[in-house]
C-alpha cells in the first residue's frame, strides 16, 4: 500500500546475568549496549491513514541485525548510563515550583543543593511552558536566568538552558551553559538553529523536544491517529532540520515531550512505545516529574505530592533505555536510579 511503513519496538526485556547469557546464546540483543537485553521485537506497520497500525511480535532472531543496530549500539559517554537533570525554574508561575527560587542567590543555592543530591546537570528555565502559560519577554527571561547560569557554571556545574529564544540561548551559553534545551525543538525562533549549531560546534548538547503549537494552546485539543508513530516522525523532522543547520547528530538528545500537546491516552501510548524512538539514534530524555501525565495523577495536589508516580514513571523510562531524566526531586530519584542500576546489572 502506498505510504505504508514499519517501525520496530524492542520488547521482551530481560536484565543482568540472564540478559548476558541470552545475548551470548543468540536469543536476545543488548538494548543500547545493556544492562538490559530484548528477546522480542514488535513490528508496527501503518499507512498513515485512519486504520490503526498493525502490530506483530517476532523473536529477535527473526529480525535482520542491521535493522536493529540503532536499538543495540551503546551510546557514547555521558549517556552510556542514566543521568539526572535537576530542574531549576527561576519563574513566578511554574506548575510545581513557581516562585520558590525567584531571586538569583536562592536559585543558585537550590541548584548547588540538587548537585549535592546527585544531579549530573541543572536545567535553568526562566519561562514556564506549562499548558496555558503566558509568554515572557526576552529581557525578563534574560534577567531571570543569566545570573543563575553564571553562578552555577562558576561552581563547575554542567548547566542546561531551558528556552525557546535564540537571544536567551546565546546569553546563557556565553555565561557557561553547555546544553540547550528547547521545548519547541528549535522551531519557535528562526534564529535558534544557527545559535544551537554554533554552540554544538563548541561541544554543547542540544535537546530537541516534541510539541505541537505553543504552550498557550497546545493542550486544547491534541489529536493523533497513532501518537507514538507521529511523535517519532515529527521528532525525526526536527532532527533533520537540526542536522541541516549543521548540528552533529552526536550532539543531539531527543525528548517526546510528555504533556506537551498530549493528553492521558497520548502520554500512556508514548510510554508504552517509548523504545521505538531509539530508531532515531540519539539519547532520549524524558520529563515526567510531578506531571499529571494520567488524569488521576493530575488530581493529586499539590504537584509536589506526585513523587511516587514520578518515580514509577522514571523507572518505566529507564527500563526502556531512556538515559536522561529531568526531575524535581533529585535525591529520591538518584536513590531509585542507583537501585535500578544495581538490580539491572546484577540480579
Stretch that binds ligand HH2, among 2-10, 60-68, 170-178, 252-260 (CB under 6 A): 252-260
Would you call 272 a catalytic residue per the annotation? no
Kindly tell me which residue out of 39, 163, 181, 219 binds ligand HH2, with binding defined by CB under 6 A: 181
> What value, to the nearest 5°, has the Cα angle with vertex 260 and ends 259 and 261?
105
Rounded to a whole number of angstroms, the minimum distance from the CB of residue 196 to ligand HH2 is 14
Rounded to a whole number of angstroms, the minimum distance from the CB of residue 220 to ligand HH2 is 17
Question: 339 near 30, Cβ under 8 Å?
Answer: no
State yes or no: cis peptide before 35, omega within 30 of 0. yes
The single residue of 291, 306, 320, 323 carrying the catalytic annotation is 291
For ligand HH2, give the closer residue by CB, 39 or 181: 181
Rounded to a whole number of angstroms, the minimum distance from the CB of residue 234 to ligand HH2 is 15
C-alpha 37, offset from chain centre: 21
Residues ≥6 apart with Cβ < 8 Å to 274: 228, 256, 284, 286, 316, 317, 320, 321, 322
For ligand HH2, give the closer residue by CB, 29 or 334: 334
Three-class SS state of 195: helix
Q: Does 333 bind ligand HH2 (CB under 6 A)?
A: no
Kindly tell me which residue out of 15, 72, 104, 128 binds ligand HH2, with binding defined by CB under 6 A: 128
User: The C-alpha cell of 341 is what?
Assistant: 542500576
Cα atoms in the Cβ-side hemisphere of radius 13 Å centred on 24 = 6
Would you call 291 a catalytic residue per the annotation? yes
For ligand HH2, give the closer residue by CB, 7 or 258: 258
Residues of this chain that bind ligand HH2 (CB under 6 A): 87, 89, 91, 94-96, 125, 128-130, 162, 181, 183, 207, 209, 255, 257-258, 285, 287, 326
Amino acid at each position: 500500500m502506498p505510504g505504508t511503513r514499519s517501525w520496530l519496538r524492542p520488547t521482551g526485556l530481560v536484565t543482568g546475568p540472564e540478559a548476558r547469557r541470552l545475548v551470548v546464546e543468540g536469543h536476545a540483543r543488548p538494548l543500547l549496549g545493556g544492562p538490559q537485553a530484548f528477546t522480542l521485537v514488535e513490528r508496527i506497520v501503518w499507512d498513515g491513514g485512519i486504520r490503526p497500525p498493525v502490530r506483530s511480535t517476532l523473536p529477535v532472531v527473526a529480525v535482520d541485525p542491521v535493522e536493529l543496530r540503532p536499538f543495540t549500539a551503546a551510546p557514547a559517554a555521558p549517556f552510556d548510563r542514566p543521568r539526572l537533570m535537576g530542574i531549576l525554574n527561576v519563574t513566578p508561575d511554574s506548575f510545581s515550583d513557581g516562585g520558590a527560587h525567584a531571586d538569583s542567590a536562592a536559585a543558585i543555592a537550590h541548584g548547588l543543593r540538587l548537585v549535592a543530591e546527585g544531579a549530573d546537570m541543572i536545567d535553568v528555565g526562566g519561562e514556564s511552558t506549562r499548558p496555558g502559560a503566558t509568554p515572557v519577554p526576552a529581557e525578563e527571561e534574560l534577567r531571570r536566568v543569566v545570573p543563575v547560569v553564571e553562578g552555577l557554571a562558576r561552581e563547575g556545574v554542567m548547566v542546561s538552558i531551558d528556552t525557546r529564544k535564540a537571544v536567551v540561548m546565546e546569553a546563557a551559553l556565553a555565561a557557561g551553559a553547555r546544553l540547550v534545551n528547547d521545548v519547541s525543538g528549535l522551531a519557535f525562533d528562526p534564529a535558534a538553529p544557527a545559535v544551537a549549531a554554533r554552540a554544538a560546534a563548541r561541544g554543547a548538547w542540544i535537546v530537541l523536544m516534541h510539541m505541537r503549537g505553543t504552550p498557550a494552546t497546545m493542550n486544547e485539543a491534541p489529536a493523533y491517529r497513532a501518537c507514538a508513530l507521529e511523535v517519532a516522525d515529527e521528532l525525526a523532522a526536527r532532527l533533520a532540520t537540526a542536522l541541516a543547520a549543521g548540528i552533529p547528530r552526536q550532539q543531539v538528545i531527543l525528548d517526546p515531550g510528555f504533556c506537551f500537546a498530549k493528553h492521558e491516552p497520548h502520554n500512556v501510548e508514548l510510554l508504552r512505545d517509548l523504545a521505538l524512538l531509539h530508531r532515531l539514534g540519539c539519547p532520549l530524555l524524558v520529563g515526567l516529574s510531578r506531571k499529571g501525565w494520567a488524569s488521576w495523577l493530575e488530581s493529586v495536589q499539590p504537584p509536589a505530592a506526585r513523587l511516587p508516580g514520578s518515580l514509577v514513571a522514571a523507572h518505566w523510562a529507564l527500563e526502556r533505555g531512556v538515559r536522561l531524566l529531568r526531575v524535581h526531586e533529585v535525591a529520591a530519584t538518584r536513590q531509585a536510579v542507583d537501585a535500578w542500576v544495581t538490580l539491572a546489572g546484577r540480579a
